[in-house]
A and B are shown apart, each in its own frame.
Chain A
Amino acid sequence: DAKTTQPTSMDCAEGRAANLPCNHSTISGNEYVYWYRQIHSQGPQYIIHGLKNNETNEMASLIITEDRKSSTLILPHATLRDTAVYYCIVRVASSGGYQKVTFGTGTKLQVIP
C-alpha cells in the first residue's frame, strides 16, 4: 500500500466545512483512496473511497487531484459528532474488500461549538 501523510490534528467550527487533506505521492494507478474515521472508543467507520473522479455520498465528498498525489475529504457542515480521528488509506480495491487495511496515524479532527 502507498504511504499517506496527514496533519496530526485540525480544528473546525461547528456548522462550517471541514477539509481534511491527505498526501499520497507514491500512489499507483490501481490504488484507490479510502477514508475511515474512528470516534473515541468505537470501531472505525467507512466514509468514502475513490479512484480518480471526485466522489460524494451522504457523509462526505472526496476530491482527488488530477495527478492523484493528494486528496481532500470534505465534511460540508461539521457537527460535534464529527469529532474523530480520520484515516486516509491508499490501497488496491477488491470485490469483497479482502485486502487488509493498514492504518496510519490519521488526523484528529476537533469540531468546536
Chain B
Amino acid sequence: GAVVSQHPSWVICKSGTSVKIECRSLDFQATTMFWYRQFPKQSLMLMATSNEGSKATYEQGVEKDKFLINHASLTLSTLTVTSAHPEDSSFYICSAPPPWVETQYFGPGTRLLVL
C-alpha cells in the first residue's frame, strides 16, 4: 500500500528558530501534497496545498511567509516554520494522493514543541 513518511517525528526548538519538516511519498509520485495542523483535542485544519514545481496554495488565515512550503520533487514536500513561537506548537501532518486511488494517504505526523 501507499506510504507517506514524515521527518522528524517530533522536534523541540527554542522560540525564534526555524524548523523544517519533511513529507515523502515512498512508493509513488505526488504532484500535490497537503499540510495540516492539529492542536490538542481539535480536528485537523488544512494549512496549504503543496504543488510540485509551483507555489503552494494557502488556506485563509495561514501566513505564507511564516509557513514556507517547498515541493521540490515529485516525492518530497517540506514545511518550514520560520521564527517559531510557542503558539506554533502543534501536530503537523501531511498527506499525498496515490494516483491509483480516489483518496489520500496521511503521514504519521510531526509533533513540534516550541519553548
Chain A positions within 8 Å of B, measured between CB atoms, are: 32, 34, 36, 38, 41-46, 49, 87, 93-98, 100-106
Contacts and interface: CB of A to CB of B under 8 A. Distances in A.
22 contacts: A43-B6, A43-B95, A43-B107, A43-B109, A44-B95, A44-B106, A46-B104, A46-B105, A46-B106, A49-B102, A93-B103, A95-B99, A95-B102, A96-B97, A96-B98, A96-B101, A97-B98, A97-B101, A98-B32, A100-B34, A100-B46, A103-B46
Contact of B97 (A42, A44, A98, A103): A98
Given A43-B108, A100-B49, 5 more contacts: A32-B102, A96-B97, A97-B102, A97-B103, A98-B97
Contacts of A101: 34, 46, 95, 104
Given A104-B43, A105-B43, A106-B43, A43 B99 contact: no
Contacts of B102: 32, 49, 93-97
A41 B111 contact: yes
Contacts of A102: 46
A97 B99 CA distance: 7
A34 B103 contact: yes
Contacts of B99: 95-96
Contacts of A36: 106
Nearest to A87: B43
B93 interface: yes
Nearest to B6: A43
A107 to B, nearest CB: 11
B44 interface: yes
Contacts of A103: 36, 43-46
Contacts of A96: 32, 97-99, 101-102
Nearest to A102: B46
Nearest to A92: B102
B6 to A, nearest CB: 8
